[in-house]
């Protein structure tokens, strides 16, 4: 994120949120999400709605990892190992919001442990495998515990990009990043009931998603800007497919 590595800002989230075009883009996106939740979802939001959103998100994030199974197949317990793993993660994800609030690094490790269990060697589950990635996650954990004036959606987007780019785990870093993004959206009060489907917003434009992450990974302001402008539109797409917006 802008100022993240160089330490040029005491609030690097706000520095990134202030890049050209970002404030207006995210204000419009947040207005759309607020309208969805307030005007169309207030009386229709239920635990079942949240569960459905999480399942839709699991299907979308699995598709970005190469799985190709429908939501109905996942609902029935089908799918490959990755798909079943992300469904398992979806059932535990929101329980990690309190953990995120007090110990983000622990929450990140737990997300990886849940989704990676049985898929990789046990000694690599929930543990960073390289020093640089571990250092980046530790720094991110410290930063998200500091006060920021940046919008919650921007924080969620930057958390996503930083985890994905850090590549701290042997595999499934993208799954962890997208799961953490959803957790942050809940923790920051953007989507308290977790009814939007940000993962679907990314899966709808996989090439754009990967290209924007690659731009972020360059480490310059232009790359951060490209990622954030992309993410603002991904969140719009994720709101459009929220279960409570259907019908």
pLDDT digits (tens, 9 = 90+) for 157-195: 999 999 999 999 999 999 999 999 999 999 999 999 999
Judge contact between 168 and 207, C-beta under 8 A. Answer: no
In sequence order, the 6+-apart residues with CB closer than 8 A to the CB of 199 are 56, 57, 58, 60, 61, 64, 178, 182, 238
Q: Domains in the chain, please, with CATH?
A: 12-245 (1.10.3290.10)
Is the predicted pLDDT of residue 6 greater than 50, yes or no? Answer: no
Is the predicted pLDDT of residue 45 greater than 80, yes or no? Answer: no
pLDDT tens digits, residue range 76-130?
989 999 999 999 999 999 999 999 999 999 999 999 999 999 999 999 999 999 9
Closest to 181 measured CA to CA, from 129, 138, 144, 127: 144
User: In this structure, what token pair is assigned to residue 22?
Assistant: 């970002």
Give the global pTM.
0.94
Cα–Cα distance between 81 and 87 in angstroms, integer?
A: 10
């Amino acid at each position: 994120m802008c100022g993240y590595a160089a330490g040029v800002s005491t609030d690097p989230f706000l520095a990134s949120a202030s890049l050209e075009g970002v404030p207006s883009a995210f204000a419009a996106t947040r207005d759309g999400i607020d309208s969805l939740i307030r005007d169309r979802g207030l009386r229709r939001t239920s635990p079942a709605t949240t569960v459905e959103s999480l399942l839709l998100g699991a299907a979308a994030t699995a598709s970005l990892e190469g799985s190709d199974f429908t939501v109905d197949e996942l609902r029935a317990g089908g799918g490959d190992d990755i798909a079943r793993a992300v469904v398992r993660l979806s059932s535990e994800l929101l329980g990690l919001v309190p953990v995120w609030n007090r110990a983000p690094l622990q929450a990140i490790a737990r997300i990886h442990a849940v989704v990676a269990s049985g898929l990789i060697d046990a000694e690599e589950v929930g543990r960073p495998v390289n020093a640089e990635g571990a250092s980046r996650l530790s720094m991110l954990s410290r930063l998200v515990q500091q006060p920021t004036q940046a919008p919650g959606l921007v924080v969620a987007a930057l958390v996503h990009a930083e985890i994905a780019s850090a590549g701290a785990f042997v595999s499934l870093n993208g799954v962890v990043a997208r799961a953490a993004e959803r957790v942050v959206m809940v923790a920051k009060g953007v989507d308290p009931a977790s009814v939007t489907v940000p993962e679907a917003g990314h899966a709808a434009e996989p090439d754009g998603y990967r290209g924007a992450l690659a731009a972020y990974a360059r480490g310059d302001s232009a790359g951060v800007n490209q990622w954030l402008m992309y993410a603002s539109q991904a969140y719009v797409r994720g709101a459009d497919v929220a279960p409570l917006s259907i019908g």
